[in-house]
Structure 1
Amino acid sequence: MSEEKLYVVEDDNRLHLAFNDAGKPMWFQTGGNFTATDSVASMWSLKHGGHAVTLVEEPEKVVLSEKQAEIVEDAHNAKRPASYIILKSNDEELLMNAYVNGFTVAKEKKWRLPVPSAWCGDSNHYWHKESDGTLTWSILAGRSEGFEFSRNEIAEYGMNGFKKEEVTDDDE
């Protein structure tokens, strides 16, 4: 999507400012003079009344999962992007919207898993993933690496029934 925008001066009755060949300002229901900068539109609005508005609002970007984002990115290299998206996902409308309007990737939720105090004698221990993939428990002590689990990792380790503490931006 292009980053360029057009601006127009509009009054409270949604009439648009235009200039005739002699440079005289007039208000029209449709049309008007457009400018590529909001500063020029603001200057016209100060001089002739009304207010500067963006002629075409830029659509909001779609929020996608990492997997969905990968499909949309790959569709940009496909000969038939719409067909590619249809073949790869059941969320065709969402992904086509993302293809056209742009997207952002949602941050994956993470959890910390406290070890039951009956197992370790206190409430300060959390499950920890070692670099070789084994699970241990340890005191968190201000570090987060290895202590945060994605939804898939929780299922993979068979820990769905364990107490979970969601990691928030404040924790990072």
Structure 2
Amino acid sequence: MSEEKLYMVKNDEGKYWDFSANSGFWSSEIAYPTTTIRKKQAERVAELVAGERGGHVVTLVEEPKKVVLTKEQAEIVEGAHDDNNFPASYISDHTGSSYKEKLLMNAYVNGWTVEKPKRYVLPMPGTDYHNYQMHGSAQYYAVKETGNWRPDAIALGADDAVKHGYTVTQSDIDAAPAWVKAIKPLEVTDDEV
């Protein structure tokens, strides 16, 4: 028995025993776990109540956290789901280390989400100026559009650059020409994109 488990007693009508009341009662609204009882005795007390009152013991378990994976790792786990015969073998065959294998097996069992890659804007150094048409301090940004880099996108700061879709990923920067790599990237959150 794990000390982190909580136990409840549920009857056939879907109502739960209230362990917080002195005499106990059945409630259809709230599940009352055995939190007020010493944890080592909680399961035993729940079994006694269930036996005396005609219910059954239910273990309260927290839903496991989903594992955050890269896109490539998620594809491996999805492949393991598609390979119905030997998913563990599929994961083992597609990973290079035991750590990654354990991570992906955990994701297979508990679920996963794909991490969003970090996003950056690339403000061009020395290009900030007051823009009267835009009513504020503007700056040029390097952007990648239709596969080509250009240095002339204008925005009123990083938030405005995000709003206009001027964000790039690290892989974009890594594959960029030298003049782009020379710009200091500014990490941003691009929830709007």
Q: One fold, TM greater than 0.5? A: yes
Give per-residue Cα distances to partners, 1:123-144, cap 9 Å, x unaligned. 700001122x111122035343
| TM-score, scaled to structure 1 | 0.67
Give identity over the alignment, percent.
40
Partner of 1:23: 53
Distance in 2 between residues matched to 1:98 and 1:169, nearest whole Å: 26
Paired residue for 2:154? 139
For 1:23 and 1:130, the matched residues in 2 are separated by: 69
Amino acid at match of 2:56: N
Aligned residue type for 1:165 = L
Aligned to 1:165: 186
User: In the aligned structure 2, how far is the partner of 1:171 from the partner of 1:58?
Assistant: 29
Instruction: Please give the residue correspondences for 1:2-151 in structure 2 after superposition, counting only pairs within 5 Å.
Output: 8=8, 9-10=33-34, 11-14=36-39, 15=42, 16-17=45-46, 18-20=49-51, 23=53, 33-35=56-58, 54-78=59-83, 79-90=85-96, 91-117=100-126, 120=127, 122=129, 124-131=139-146, 133-137=147-151, 138-140=153-155, 142=160, 143-145=163-165, 147-151=166-170
SS of aligned partner of 1:104: strand
**Structure 2: distance between partners of 1:96 and 1:140:** 44
Between structures 1 and 2, the one with greater strand share: 2
Query: Are the equivalent residues in 1 in contact too, given 2:91–2:101 (CA < 8 A)?
Result: yes
Q: State how far apart, in whole Å, the 2-side matches of 1:104 and 1:75 are.
A: 15
Alignment-mate amino acid for residue 23 of structure 1: R
Match of 2:134 in 1: none
Post-superposition shift, 1:171?
7.1
SS in 2 for 1:113: strand
Gaps of 5+ in 2: 1-5, 9-32, 130-137
Structure 2 residue identity aligned to 1:104: T
- Write the distance in 2 (CA, Å) between the matches of 1:86 and 1:69: 14
What is the distance in 1 between the residues matched to 2:93 and 2:191? 39
TM-score (normalizing by structure 2): 0.61
Separation (CA, whole Å) in 1 of partners of 2:128 and 2:68: 43
Q: Deviation of residue 156 (structure 1)?
A: 0.3
- Letter of the 1:150 partner, please give it: T
Displacement of 1:7 in angstroms is 5.4
Cα 1:55–1:113 change in 2 (3 A) is same
Q: How many residues in Structure 1 have an aligned counterpart in Structure 2?
A: 137
